[in-house]
Structure 1
Amino acid sequence: MAAHPSVPAPTAHAGEARIRALIVDDEPLARRGLELRLAQAEGVEIVGQCGDGASAIAAVHRLQPDVMFLDVQMPGADGFDTLRAIPASAMPLVVFVTAYDHFALRAFEAAAIDYLLKPVDDERLSQALDRVRHELAQRASGTHCAQLLRLLGELDGRGPLTLEQALDPAYAAQLRRDNRLVVREGGRIVRVDLDSLRWIDAAGDYMCLHIDGETLVLRATMSELERQLDPRRFARIHRSTIVNLRRVVEMRPHTNGESFLRLDCGQELKLSRSYRDKLALLMA
């Protein structure tokens, strides 16, 4: 087998922290090829490799990588399904990897740290790593996560997500009657069935509403949403998380007075000790 060309020397700085990278691809040869290239790059540590979306979600929680090289096309949960299942607070930087140069690449360029076409080009990989280093130095992961969520909305067919919350007193009254959360999306109003709403988390100036089968993104604040939801059903369990109490099936203690809540969909969320008063609602 021919040896891989050497990766061009990346831009690095003395004392620079190593980049913790996670590789996610269902093709073993593709994972191996990217592994060999990253191993030659200065200041990169490969902390794990996954062959499917479910394993990647677990690895992100367990390993807390700085960046995830994510294959877009995978059987089962593809790259976008994988992103939807990762809470905003745990989202690493993402470099998309794809074999298809199609319309979505325009969105990748606008919303991702970078994207790589298969077979991965060494110079492009070096450029992607430089972008990752710059982003980590700026600590702008919250902005990046908001960009990813905006991308997911576009790929779901919603168009550019410049969303504003649209609840006024009349809509709030309707919400109580109809069991709906009413939000404005572009020029239209969307009603979200509250029974289908699993949890909400924050990503910069955006709120990510995790609903059965999809994720909806709003430009709003956590406090605004909290005021519009019934506190007997939706509890603030972290400064950046609201959960539907009816979807919680298990609670287990963690360190320092914190706990983990498991939802009926398998998602785990942290109950911080600052919100331990919500335990009474959970027990009820």
Structure 2
Amino acid sequence: MSNKIRTLIVDDESLARRGLAVRLQEFPQVELLDECANARQALEKITSLNPDLIFLDIQMPGMNGFELLREVKQQGTKLPVVVFVTAYDHYAIKAFDVRAIDYLLKPVDHERLAQTLARVEKNLAQRERDQQQQRMLNLLADATGEDCEAILRRLADDKEMGSTRYPEHIAIKESGEITRVAINSIEWIDAAGDYMCIHASDETHILRRTMKELEDELNPNRFQRIHRSAIVNLDQIEKLCSRQNGEYHIILKNGKELKVSRSYKERIKKLILTT
């Protein structure tokens, strides 16, 4: 979700549209895209602008608010978060039947509008989390050959794929001392013979362990192999660059450049686009 709630007002009364628009100016998180005087205009704007939120009147000439939502669904267009704004309270039950997030009576006061926008922000954040989860499920499905429902069942059954608890620290013995390195501080790991070099917070720690053992210990949603001898923290990737010779390199936030081997290139590209 962007920092702004991209918003559309739909009402056949010009004074009602203007009054709500003025109220919304008091909320910096709201970006008002447009105002629509009828449902037909709104249908075009929803399709072309893809707003996050619409404030929707119910009784309008021609197509009413409920009919507009039905038309949006029939066209297969993504339905924004809906807040009904009306002078009549007898539509409330039907409004929630069509999954409106709130129902405001005109004239709308500041406190009530603030409560509604807080609810909208929470809903949009949950939508974003759900979309990210679905993208990750799709990637796991591609990698394992399972369908998304099977993966979700495994997660629900608390089996290995989803239930494994990954450690928050890794213990590294160096010069007779044991150092606990926070997993989230690790930027990348590379192999040096029989040892692993753990690069974390501007320090490098040497660990005697195989790459496969480390890979199994790290959360794959955060750490991914980019080469047979290198693992990278996806949160530390600044950008992915292609070279004239066809090679791909990633640039970390600390400026470090690492080569991505051909066999891992497409997977890393997908993960960068979805995380």
TM range (shorter): 0.3 to 0.5
The higher radius of gyration belongs to 2
Higher RCO (CA < 8 A, seq sep 6+): 1
How high is the TM-score relative to the length of structure 2? 0.44
Scaled by the length of structure 1, the TM-score of the pair is 0.42
